[in-house]
């Protein structure tokens, strides 16, 4: 099979060589060259047409941000993976890069000394490369993960195709008899919960731009991101939405028209206290290899809100959220999923859809109006069907 072709771009000779060496250890990936500044990078992107570029942002002659703008303007198919410093300023640069069209980002340490730093970069890069191309978006339903297959020497494409066959998709509309009991009783959701990963920031920014009308319920978001980055993401979304958005803090009491993003590197759940429902931030172990985990959070929502929740599953790789949605659907909640065409990675929404847990798939441009409509009290199933049609 044809290997993924990757170009390394960094103004530091040390990082160029380090990244090149890391890439050469990843099965199924070929490093086709390096570039030391944005101008050279753009020239090689145009001439060599790599599948993937690892892109430094602060470079002479032409910055990484200018490269993103040029690639986006020319509608090139090359995917740009930003290499960002794990700092507040690095988080801001990465979020801005995602807004402009970058595919995703990885973080780099201040120092490359020791094997741990390089192994961490390799792990992050492997995770991003898993989602490249159609074979890489296949849901990982096996006990053996993609990471295990890569470690065992399988090429990326072969590893993806080794997945067990997925279930045949169900109809995009679940029969009205299976819609949320809360809807049939004229009781709208008390909470909106969202889960996403790769491509999630772009989807969230677009979705919240459309949520201009005040919401009578709180919103919770679990986005796979490292520490510092979720705080920056919350600030970016808050600036463009009528909904107040913040990174969740331990002990927060959920308020209507407020959105809470799970902090990177930690777990978030909802608990019942003497004062009412509140947010609990923990250092519990990863769930489904994720921290924060959609499954971890959705499970707490199923326990506390039962049928009075609205689930939303957006762009992301893998299957996180599947088990949480299973618990939520056991109470009859309605779930909206982002469709394949508007996803950066149609992984998490696909797994949920093929399991029969998504009532309606929607383009991300339609998601805000669907959410607003679902919050309105209804007197009949026919009205619910009309809103989700």
Q: 0.75 exceeded by the pTM?
A: yes
pLDDT of residue 252 exceeding 70:
yes
Question: Looking at residues 30-40, what average pLDDT do you find?
Answer: 96
* Residue 141: CATH number of its domain: 3.40.50.2300
**164, 141 Cβ separation under 8 angstroms:** yes
pLDDT score of 133: 53
Q: Which tens digit of pLDDT belongs to each residue from 286-305?
A: 998 899 999 999 999 999 99
pLDDT of residue 260 exceeding 80:
yes
Quickly list DSSP for 337-354: EE-TTT-SSBSHHHHHHH
Confidence band, pLDDT 50/70/90 cuts, at residue 134:
very low
Question: Looking at residues 323-350, what average pLDDT do you find?
Answer: 96
Mean pLDDT of the chain: 84
Q: Are residues 332 and 373 in the same domain?
A: yes
Question: Looking at residues 277-282, what average pLDDT do you find?
Answer: 97
Q: Are residues 292 and 372 in the same domain?
A: yes
Pairing mode, strands 29-35 and 79-85: unpaired
- For residue 200, tell me if it sits in a domain: yes
Question: Looking at residues 42-69, what average pLDDT do you find?
Answer: 95
89 catalytic residue (yes or no): no
197 catalytic residue (yes or no): yes
Asked if the peptide bond before residue 292 counts as cis, ω within 30 degrees of 0, the response is yes
Structure tokens at 352: 């949920």
Other Cβ atoms closer than 10 A to 175: 10
Q: Are residues 197 and 254 in the same domain?
A: yes
Q: Are residues 112 and 260 in the same domain?
A: no
Question: Please, where are the H alpha helices in the chain?
Answer: 13-23, 38-48, 64-73, 88-100, 115-130, 133-136, 146-151, 156-161, 181-184, 200-210, 229-240, 294-305, 322-329, 348-354, 364-374, 381-388
pLDDT score of 142: 32
| Residue in 56, 320, 339, 359 annotated catalytic | 320
pLDDT of residue 59 exceeding 60:
yes
pLDDT score of 378: 60
Backbone angles phi, psi at 83, to 5 degrees: -105, 105
- For residue 355, tell me if it sits in a domain: yes
Q: Are residues 87 and 207 in the same domain?
A: no
Which of 105, 128, 161 corresponds to the end of one domain?
Answer: 161
| Residue in 63, 182, 197, 293 annotated catalytic | 197
**202, 362 Cβ separation under 8 angstroms:** no
Q: What percent of the chain is predicted at pLDDT more than 70? A: 81
- For residue 143, tell me if it sits in a domain: yes
Q: Are residues 138 and 190 in the same domain?
A: no
Long-range contacts of 110-113 (CB under 8 A, 24+ apart): 110/85, 112/14, 112/15, 112/18
* Residue 224: CATH number of its domain: 3.40.50.180
Other Cβ atoms closer than 10 A to 159: 26
Q: Are residues 23 and 155 in the same domain?
A: yes
171 catalytic residue (yes or no): no
Domain span at residue 364 reads 176-388
pLDDT score of 154: 35
- For residue 171, tell me if it sits in a domain: no
- For residue 263, tell me if it sits in a domain: yes
Which of 135, 161, 187 corresponds to the end of one domain?
Answer: 161
Counting the structural domains of the chain, the total is: 2
pLDDT score of 130: 85
Closest CA to 188 of 219, 220, 216: 216
pLDDT of residue 165 exceeding 60:
no
Confidence band, pLDDT 50/70/90 cuts, at residue 180:
very low
Other Cβ atoms closer than 10 A to 152: 10
Confidence band, pLDDT 50/70/90 cuts, at residue 62:
very high
pLDDT score of 387: 59
Lowest average pLDDT, out of 17-31, 162-176, 277-291, 335-349, goes to 162-176
Which of 106, 126, 161 corresponds to the end of one domain?
Answer: 161
Q: Are residues 154 and 209 in the same domain?
A: no
Q: Are residues 204 and 343 in the same domain?
A: yes
Q: Are residues 13 and 127 in the same domain?
A: yes
Instruction: Find how far residue 338's CA is from the centre of its chain.
Output: 11
Of 183 and 264, more confident: 264
Of 19 and 168, more confident: 19
Of 88 and 368, more confident: 368
pLDDT score of 146: 38
In a 3-state reduction of DSSP, which class is residue 115?
A: helix
Q: Which tens digit of pLDDT belongs to each residue from 138-161?
A: 333 333 343 443 333 333 333 333
Structure tokens at 370: 């669907």
Question: Looking at residues 33-59, what average pLDDT do you find?
Answer: 96
Q: What is the DSSP letter of 316?
A: B
Q: Are residues 147 and 194 in the same domain?
A: no
Q: Are residues 237 and 319 in the same domain?
A: yes
């Amino acid at each position: 099979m044809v290997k993924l072709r990757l170009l390394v771009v960094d103004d530091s000779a040390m990082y160029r060589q380090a990244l090149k060496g890391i890439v050469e250890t990843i099965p199924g990936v070929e490093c086709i060259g390096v570039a030391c500044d944005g101008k050279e990078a753009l020239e090689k992107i145009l001439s060599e047409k790599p599948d993937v570029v690892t892109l430094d942002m602060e470079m002479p002659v032409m910055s990484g941000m200018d490269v993103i703008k040029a690639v986006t303007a020319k509608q090139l198919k090359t995917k740009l993976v930003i290499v960002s410093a794990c700092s507040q300023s690095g988080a801001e640069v990465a979020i801005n890069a995602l807004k402009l069209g970058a595919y995703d980002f990885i973080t780099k340490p201040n120092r490359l000394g020791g094997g741990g730093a390089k192994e961490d970069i390799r792990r992050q890069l492997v995770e991003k490369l898993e989602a490249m191309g159609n074979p890489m978006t296949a849901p990982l339903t096996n006990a053996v993960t993609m990471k295990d297959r890569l470690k065992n020497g399988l090429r990326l494409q072969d590893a993806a195709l080794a997945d067990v066959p997925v279930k045949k998709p169900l109809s995009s509309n679940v029969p009205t008899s299976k819609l949320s009991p809360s809807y049939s009783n004229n009781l709208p959701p008390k909470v909106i919960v969202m889960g996403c990963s790769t491509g999630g920031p772009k989807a969230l920014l677009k979705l919240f731009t459309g949520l201009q009308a005040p919401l009578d319920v709180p919103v919770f978001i679990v986005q796979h991101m490292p520490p510092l980055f979720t705080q920056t993401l919350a600030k970016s979304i808050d600036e463009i939405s009528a909904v107040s958005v913040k990174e969740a803090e331990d002990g927060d009491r959920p308020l209507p028209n407020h959105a809470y993003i799970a902090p990177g590197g930690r777990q978030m759940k909802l608990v019942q206290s003497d004062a009412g429902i509140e947010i609990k931030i923990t250092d519990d172990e990863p769930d489904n290899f994720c921290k924060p985990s959609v499954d971890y959070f959705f499970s707490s929502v199923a326990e506390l809100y039962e049928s009075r929740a609205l689930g939303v599953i957006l762009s992301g790789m893998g299957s996180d959220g599947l088990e949480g949605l299973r618990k939520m659907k056991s109470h009859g909640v309605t779930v909206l999923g982002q469709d394949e065409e508007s996803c950066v990675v149609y992984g998490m929404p696909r797994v949920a859809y093929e399991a029969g847990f998504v009532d309606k798939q929607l383009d991300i441009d339609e998601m805000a109006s669907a959410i607003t409509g679902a919050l309105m009290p209804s007197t009949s199933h026919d009205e619910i069907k009309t809103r989700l049609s």
